[in-house]
Structure 1
Amino acid sequence: MVYIGAVQAVVTADEFDREPTAAELDAIDREMPVIRADIDLLDAQIITLDRTPTELDARRIRRARRRVLAARRTLANFAATRAPGVSA
């Protein structure tokens, strides 16, 4: 009878098994206004799922969409000014 031993995995940290770097945390901080605006938009849309939207609901959704667009514009403008080769 031949015994087959299990192959051991390498005991080093995997790429997905680590803490975020400072650069990754900075990127998350820069994107946080967009994330919050998206959450607000989803909240406004979820409220109207089980009922007919009122005028107040429609205004809430429009405001949330405008906040999402403004946050994305701000993030895109920031990224454009920080692009390599662009003088600030």
Structure 2
Amino acid sequence: MMKLIPVLICSCILLTAPLLTIANEKKEPPRQQAQSQNRAISKEAATQLAQQRYPGRVLKVNAEQRQYKVRVMQADGRVVNVVVDGQNGRVKREE
């Protein structure tokens, strides 16, 4: 009987480990969903809007809470930092 107790404990741990992993995976999407709810404009759309206003090669796009920061290198070599509002798509140059 004493040898059976450690086997039962190990079995319980092994059986519940996958359930804990599944529970953790189910918790993450709501957080990601909440972040995407702060933005109506997608990252790709923000990139296109920035390029339309400031033509050039997009170097980097950072998604922040309610906006995107897009770095664009123009044809003359100047780098422009652009902020795209994630709600309405308004584009402005960052000073």
TM-score, scaled relative to structure 1? 0.32
If each structure's strand is expressed as a fraction of its own residues, which one has the higher value?
2
TM-score, scaled relative to structure 2? 0.30
If each structure's helix is expressed as a fraction of its own residues, which one has the higher value?
1
- Structure with bigger RCO (C-alpha 8 Å, 6+ apart): 1
| Structure with the greater alpha carbon radius of gyration | 2
